[in-house]
Amino acid sequence: MKRFMYYFVWVFFIGFICYLGSLYYMSLKSIAQTTFDNKLFLIYSLVFPVIIGMLLKLPVLVKDIQQQKKWTFDWVKLLAIGAPTFFIVTSPIWIYTSFGEHFSDYLRITISTPFATAAGIVLGYCLLDILKK
C-alpha cells in the first residue's frame, strides 16, 4: 500500500504540473498571437516536454538516490538516444540559422508534427536515466 501511495502521489504531482504548464502554454500562445513575438512561446514549447520527461523519471531516481551505491554515467545512452533527440527537440530553432538551410525539408516536418514534443519527453527521461547507481 505504501508503494501504491508513493506512485499515486507522483502521478498526481506530475499531472498537476502538466495542468499548470498547459495553462501557461495557452497564455503564452495568446500573448504571442497578439504581440507577434513568439520567441518565449517557442522556447517554452521546446523546454516543457523535456521537463515532463524528467518528471517521469524522477520517482525512480529518488529511490536510487536513497541507495548507498557508486554513481555511474552511461555515455552510450547519452550519445545513442540523447544526441538525436536533442537535435529533434532543437530543430525549430535550427530553421532560423544558416545550418537550417541545408535541412529545411526535414526541419519543417519536425516542426509541424508532435514529433518534437515526443522527442522532448524522451530527452528529459534520458537525461536522468543516464545517471545510474
Range of the domain at 10: 2-132
pLDDT of residue 110: 63
pLDDT tens, position by position, 2-29: 889 988 998 999 999 999 999 998 998 8
51, 54, 42: which is closest to 21 by C-alpha? 51
The letter for the amino acid at 133 is: K
Paired residues of 72 in beta bridges: 132
Nearest to 111 by CA among 127, 123, 93: 93
DSSP state of 90: T
Rounded to an integer, the average pLDDT of 53-64 is 88
What is the number of domains present in the chain? Answer: 1
What's the CA gap between 74 and 63, in Å, rounded? 18
How far is residue 23's CA from residue 72's CA, in Å, rounded to a whole number?
37
8 A C-beta contact, residue 49 and residue 89 = yes
Answer yes or no: is pLDDT of 107 > 70: no
How far is it, in rounded angstroms, from Cα 70 to Cα 38? 44
Angle 98-126-120 (CA atoms, 0-180°, nearest 5)?
Answer: 45
Question: Model's pTM, two decimal places?
Answer: 0.83
Residue 93: how many CB atoms within 10 A of its CB?
Answer: 16
**Whether 94 contacts 103, CB under 8 Å:** yes
